[in-house]
Amino acid sequence: MSDKPISQDTSRAPTSQKRATPIQAGAKDAIGGSVSVTIDGEKTKVPLGTTILEACREMGVHIPTLCHHSDLCIAGVCRVCVVEVEGMRTLQAACAFPITAPITVRTHTAQVRRSRRHIIDLMLKYHYGECYACGRNNNCELQALAKEYGVDFFRFGHPDKPMHDVDRSSHSVVRDMNKCVLCRRCVRTCIDLQEVGVLEAIERGEETTISTYLDKPLGDVVCINCGQCINRCPTGALRANDPTDEVWAAIEDPTKHVVIQTAPSPRAGIGECFGLEPGTPMTYEMNTALRRCGFDKIFDTNFTADLTIIEEGTELLIRLYKALVEKDTEVALPQYTSCSPGWVKYLEHFNPEMIPNLSTAKSPQQMFGAVIKTYYAKMHNIDPKDIVTVALMPCSAKKFECNRPEMCDSGFKDVDYGLTTRELGKMISEAGIDLPAMPKSDFDDPFGTATGSGVIFGATGGVMEAALRTVIELVVGCKVEDLFEHADILPVRGFEGVRYVELPITEVGPVPEIVSHLVPNWDWLKGATLKVAVAHGTANAKKVLDDIKAGGKFSECHFIEFMGCPGGCIGGGGQPIPTSPEIRAARAAAIYAEDADCEVRKSHENPAVLKIYNDFLMEGPCGHLSHKLLHTGYTARGKYIS
Amino acid sequence: MITSTCKNLTFATIEAGAGLKRALELGQAGIIREVTDSGIKGRGGAGFPSGVKWNLCAAAKDPQKYIVCNADEGEPGTFKDRIILTTYAGLVFEGMTIAAAAVNAPKGILYLRGEYTYLREQLEAELQALRDDGKLGENACGKKGFTFDIEIRMGSGAYVCGEETALIESLEGHRGEPRNRPPYPVNTGFDGHPTAVNNVETLAWISCILNKGSDWFRQHGTEKSTGLKLFSVSGDCDMPGVYELPLGITVDQLLAEVGGSNAKAVQIGGASGRCVPGSQFDRKIAYEDIPTGGSVIVFGPGRDMLDVAQNFLEFMVEESCGQCTPCRYGNPTLLEGVEMLRNGRCSAGYLKELVSLGESVQISSKCGLGQSSANAFLSIIEHFKEEIMGRTVDAV
Ligand SMILES: Cc1cc2nc3c(=O)[nH]c(=O)nc-3n(C[C@H](O)[C@H](O)[C@H](O)COP(=O)(O)O)c2cc1C
Ligand code: SF4
Ligand code: SF4
Ligand code: SF4
Ligand code: SF4
Ligand code: FES
């Protein structure tokens, strides 16, 4: 069982794409040592096995790259990073060349510049697209390369008509292979980071394209809609399915009451669309901008994140009670979280036999949709048919999720449109709004008050931390702060691909009212050890699932948080591009800072949550109405498609 | 000068098993010394010294190693490996066993070109005979603790799979695409284990070297290109076929041998080789002058050199794996240029740009295919510019 961080352990990647192990025959003493390298006349020492690219970056020497990505294994296919290595007949790809012996490198000789320019010219010869009509204008690595190399005419020509049809079959991802430069980052993302592998190069030579199983449309293959490929595509070849026109139309329709819920991660990312440093929180500026765009109400998805914790936590307690006290052997444990739709679809495709382990609680987005079109509609006396619910999400899979046919428990489509952070950034620009300059304003009632637990849903480990804060207080009866300083449950935080934590329950308290209809007391948990785990990115999820199938330590867990995307929602497929471990860490820091600033930090203390159970859901968590509105079922899809 | 035709090869005179017997007596270091002393360089085209390769592989610390025989023979105009496998496969298997003893590898794989499937049955039978005879398997050749067996795996028709790292990818069940190097197969090869990849002919000669001694081998050829070599000769000559000749022979001498003395040009090294014009027929065929994996294609006086360039480029466009930009898009761009030249629509300025592009493709491509794909085009432009630029503009 490997707990290595993402992208180090790439079991299914072709060996060609794995990082070179710097083993030199006979030089065993050299391992772990350093080696000298001269770059453009400057000499330095680097650890053995450092790539030329890394060495250059370390020295502040810029090398253009295209197929290289800090999250992915090395491909060495675009060749724009070529440099001269003294004594070698051909130029070498800086990204792929591990330094294992002293070398002299020159990064901008005439040969190097000419070759790079030719490579860019060749890409443009096969690239059909006009920058001013492209979603990646000004945020495109191909465009940036062309600028860097002063391309002012198409040396080898330029296509005047499209060569491929645009694939719009997926609710989440649009593929326009006319703009693809075959860097294969999407292929590596889908295989290495996500262990899905729906994308692969087909044909060869000039005919090579990125395609799917039997060239089927993306909507018909086992794609989990995570959008991670979009985030790593250097060009406009991959993009999310953009509903902004429909959203604008709804806003402009006077008969519609347009409500937007905003998830925690977009507020930590949207600043990047406006040139701010990653991790600059824009929560309250964004509220003002949304109002100025014309949304009628702005709600915080954190409300239903808290509701999710109550529902999912209760579900867990019920499962544990059945298993431990009633000795029901049919109960599926560990319970898996269900708030990440990419992860949910992954399980439906690849491990449908484990669907019983999936919490039946809907994701916060879908709970909110159902609540708005029932509870909120009733409260404000608005006909739900006139309500349009928009969900601002960091996620492309949320677009698929809201279109699941079963997500109509309010009697209407619970969530009408899923909007990504990038798409909202575009709407705000279009409205002429300078987001960072906006005055701050709060969310609208009645769901306004957020808790810190809801906020941290955005980062990997956040759902687990939120759940633990509540479970500890409900069961142990003490304050989380008594066990963890500032209620920060650090063991579940971080970016390690898979994390495992044990929490011994030494004391139990009285059963609080909110769950008193479900269990008589907690004595049966006294002395037990709560075992939980966290995994992010479906490649890591797969490791955990494989371990469970093999009866390993994760099979003894009670509760496991799975997030489809590396880093959790802050690294979602709808977040601003580019992404990197550093960018995701900065966004996560913003989220944890917002949590620390919250007055209420625990889901079960959210007054709006308590109110909805009192006024509307009536029978408490997992009660009848909860089940109808807040829970769902899943589809065993399997990985074989007809 | 030793000359012989296909019917009269050194291989025919070699006693089966003698080289292997001596190799096992010499032991690991002894074999590698003998191979190194012979000066033999890879017969597959790249010309890497085999002794050095084996030494690196032997030094790699891993109990699992592989010997791979590259029988993917896909270079246009070569057919000498087919002749060897048809008639002298025993020498190849013997060479693989010697390699196994040298680097300490328990397993060998013969990667057989898809088009040679018809040879498989015969080769399997020979392998079985060797197993029955105790030459392969556990305690092979009666040597305690020496385990070696050979498996045949089929290619499926991609030229690039002859490139050793693409071959290994293909063996692993992936798309046949070359890897980044370093790391080299001798350290990180099949399934991540050290792997020595050698050409069919290289292995056959090594059996001879162990039998007759490195001094015998060094008697032939030049100092930098020792020994004898098989040439697959085709095209406009009287006696096409497989010839055994010493390296260092001039183009003229070879042409005289095969009845092609009135040639206008000779393509040496197949589609990835260079086109040598009549004015340079005094040059040597050797690693230090004109290197080759053995393909010699003779062009008579009536040949249109633009057809030749087009033919080779079409092959490269077809066979590029499509992984890296310069080869994937550079070759079709050069091919379009040939079309423009044919129609008299290529300006001198654009031709210069194409030549420069060809050079970029040579130095920036990921593998040997792309690095040599423009060779034929560039050498034809260099030597036959007059012929090529003089086309009349189409009426169209
Ligand atoms: C595109 C390409 C095709 C090749 N095809 C062959 C081949 O068919 N047979 C072969 O022995 N080597 C071929 N090679 C050379 C191999 O990569 C490798 O150098 C060789 O098998 C090593 O054996 P040797 O050292 O005995 O020559 C090819 C190389 C390239 C770049
Ligand atoms: S993908 Fe990049 S280069 Fe292509 S049209 Fe879009 S912005 Fe321009
Ligand atoms: S959205 Fe995710 S699963 Fe679908 S192709 Fe992209 S990376 Fe693969
Ligand atoms: S779709 Fe994008 S990421 Fe994938 S190969 Fe093409 S350009 Fe690269
Ligand atoms: S040079 Fe050609 S054959 Fe070699 S890796 Fe690049 S595209 Fe593939
Ligand atoms: S960035 Fe190095 S080859 Fe693409």
CATH number of domain containing A274: 3.40.50.1780
Q: Scanning the structure block, which residue is given the tokens 């600043």?
A: A271
Kindly identify which residue of chain B lies nearest to residue A17, measuring between CA atoms. B179
Q: Residues A294-298: contacts with CB within 8 Å, 24+ apart?
A: A294/A251, A294/A252, A294/A258, A295/A251, A295/A258, A295/A259, A295/A260, A295/A390, A296/A257, A296/A258, A296/A259, A297/A257, A297/A258, A297/A259, A297/A260, A297/A444, A298/A259, A298/A260, A298/A262, A298/A443, A298/A444
Based on the fold, state whether residues A88 and A207 are members of the same structural domain.
Answer: no
Q: Which of A126, A134, A154, A163 to mutate to test the pocket of ligand 2 (most atoms within 8 A of CB)?
A: A134
Based on the fold, state whether residues A326 and A180 are members of the same structural domain.
Answer: no
Q: Indicate the helix (H) or strand (E) that contains B245.
A: strand B241-246
pLDDT (mean) for A47-69: 97
What's the rounded Cα separation, in Å, for the pair B366 and A82?
10
ipTM confidence: 0.95
Write the DSSP assignment of A190-244 as a string of letters. IIIITS----EEES-GGG-EEE-GGG--GGGSS-----HHHHH-SSTTEEE---H
- Domain extent, residue A109, equals 33-118
Residue A1 pLDDT greater than 50, yes or no? no
Chain A residue numbers touching B322 (CB-CB < 8 A): 182, 201, 203-208
- Distance from the Cα of A230 to chain B's closest Cα (Å) equals 20
Nearest alpha carbon to residue A499 among A549, A458, A537, A456: A537
pLDDT at site B1: 29
pLDDT (mean) for A581-597: 96
Chain A residue numbers touching B56 (CB-CB < 8 A): 25
Question: Which tens digits make up the pLDDT trace of A272-287?
Answer: 999 999 999 999 999 9
User: Does any domain span residue A257?
Assistant: yes
Residue A106 burial (C-beta neighbours within 10 Å; 0-12, 13-18, 19+): middle
Based on the fold, state whether residues A226 and A102 are members of the same structural domain.
Answer: no
Alpha helix locations (H) across B143-194? 164-171
Nearest alpha carbon to residue B247 among B208, B282, B297, B286: B286
Chain B residue numbers touching A20 (CB-CB < 8 A): 180, 182-183, 188
Indicate the Cα dihedral angle B343, B345, B349, B355, nearest 10°. -30
Nearest alpha carbon to residue A231 among A273, A189, A270: A189
Residue A398 pLDDT greater than 60, yes or no? yes
A79 to B363: CB separation less than 8 angstroms, yes or no: no
**Residue having the nearest C-alpha atom to atom 2 of ligand 4:** A233
The residue among A198, A221, A240 that closes a domain is A240
Based on the fold, state whether residues A606 and A502 are members of the same structural domain.
Answer: yes
Residue A24 pLDDT greater than 70, yes or no? no
- Which of A91, A156, A205 is closest, CB to CB, to B364? A91
Token representation of residue A70: 């800090």
Residue A17 pLDDT greater than 70, yes or no? no
Strand partners, A536: A563
pLDDT at site B394: 64
Residue A23 pLDDT greater than 90, yes or no? no
User: Does any domain span residue A14?
Assistant: no
User: Does any domain span residue A22?
Assistant: no
Based on the fold, state whether residues A533 and A491 are members of the same structural domain.
Answer: yes
Residue A294 pLDDT greater than 70, yes or no? yes
From residue A611, alpha-carbon distances to A446, A617, B131 in Å are: 10, 9, 82
- Which of A23, A82, A96 is closest, CB to CB, to B187? A23
**Residue having the nearest C-alpha atom to atom 6 of ligand 5:** B324
User: Does any domain span residue A16?
Assistant: no
Task: Point out the residues of chain B with pLDDT beneath 50.
Answer: 1-4, 396
Closest ligand 1 atom to residue B72 Cα is 8
- Is residue B177 a contact partner of residue A17, using CB atoms and an 8 Å limit? no
B86: left (phi over 0), alpha (psi -120 to 50) or beta: alpha
Residue A21 pLDDT greater than 50, yes or no? no
Residue A443 pLDDT greater than 80, yes or no? yes
B241-246: strand order across its sheet: B241-246, B228-235, B295-299, B265-268, B274-277
What's the rounded Cα separation, in Å, for the pair A326 and A319?
10
Per-residue confidence at A118, pLDDT binned at 50, 70, 90?
very high
- Torsional sign, CA B27, B32, B36, B40: positive
Based on the fold, state whether residues A292 and A375 are members of the same structural domain.
Answer: yes
Question: Which residues of A are marked as active site?
Answer: 312, 315, 339, 359, 398, 401, 406, 569
User: Does any domain span residue A594?
Assistant: yes
Residue A100 pLDDT greater than 70, yes or no? yes
What's the rounded Cα separation, in Å, for the pair A456 and A462?
5
Residue A599 pLDDT greater than 60, yes or no? yes
What count of CB pairs under 8 Å joins A to B?
143
Residue A66 burial (C-beta neighbours within 10 Å; 0-12, 13-18, 19+): buried
The residue among A379, A413, A437 that closes a domain is A437
Mean of the per-residue pLDDT values of chain A = 93
pLDDT at site B8: 82
Q: What is the CATH number of the domain that holds A170?
A: 3.30.70.20
Q: Scanning the structure block, which residue is given the tokens 């210069």?
A: B352
Question: Which tens digits make up the pLDDT trace of A447-470?
Answer: 877 799 999 999 999 999 999 999
Helices (H) and strands (E) in chain A, counts: 21, 17
Regarding the beta carbon of B369 and ligand 1, being less than 6 Å apart is answered yes
Kindly identify which residue of chain A lies nearest to residue B369, measuring between CA atoms. A205
From residue A438, alpha-carbon distances to A277, A477, B289 in Å are: 17, 43, 72
Residue A587 pLDDT greater than 60, yes or no? yes
At residue A400's C-alpha, the angle toward residues A373 and A164, to 5°, is 140
Counting the structural domains of chain A, the total is 4
- Is residue A508 a contact partner of residue A522, using CB atoms and an 8 Å limit? yes
User: Does any domain span residue A12?
Assistant: no
Based on the fold, state whether residues A379 and A336 are members of the same structural domain.
Answer: no
Residue A282 has, within 13 A of its CA and on its CB side, a CA count of: 32
pLDDT at site B162: 97
- Which of A97, A119, A155 is closest, CB to CB, to B325? A119
**Among the ranges given (A4-18, A493-507, A551-565, B277-291), the one the predictor scored with the smallest mean pLDDT:** A4-18
- Is residue A580 a contact partner of residue A185, using CB atoms and an 8 Å limit? no
For chain B, give the longest Cα–Cα distance.
78
Based on the fold, state whether residues A160 and A94 are members of the same structural domain.
Answer: no
Set out the domains of chain B in order of their start, with CATH numbers. 4-218 (3.40.50.11540), 228-299 (3.10.20.600), 305-389 (1.20.1440.230)
Nearest alpha carbon to residue A3 among A347, A500, A494: A500
What is the amino acid identity at position A71? D
Question: Which tens digits make up the pLDDT trace of A568-583?
Answer: 999 999 999 999 999 9
pLDDT at site B393: 73
Nearest alpha carbon to residue B230 among B243, B248, B212: B243
Based on the fold, state whether residues A383 and A282 are members of the same structural domain.
Answer: yes
Query: Ligand 3 center to residue A578 CA distance, Å?
Result: 16
User: Does any domain span residue A8?
Assistant: no
pLDDT at site A5: 37
Kindly identify which residue of chain B lies nearest to residue A96, measuring between CA atoms. B180
- Is residue A425 a contact partner of residue A274, using CB atoms and an 8 Å limit? yes
pLDDT at site A450: 77
pLDDT at site B6: 66
Q: What is the CATH number of the domain that holds A59?
A: 3.10.20.740
User: Does any domain span residue A318?
Assistant: yes
Based on the fold, state whether residues A293 and A265 are members of the same structural domain.
Answer: yes
Q: Which residue has the higher pLDDT, A477 or A272?
A: A272
pLDDT at site B157: 87
Based on the fold, state whether residues A285 and A328 are members of the same structural domain.
Answer: no
Based on the fold, state whether residues A236 and A94 are members of the same structural domain.
Answer: no
pLDDT at site B64: 97
Q: What is the CATH number of the domain that holds A557?
A: 3.40.950.10
- Distance from the Cα of B155 to chain A's closest Cα (Å) equals 16
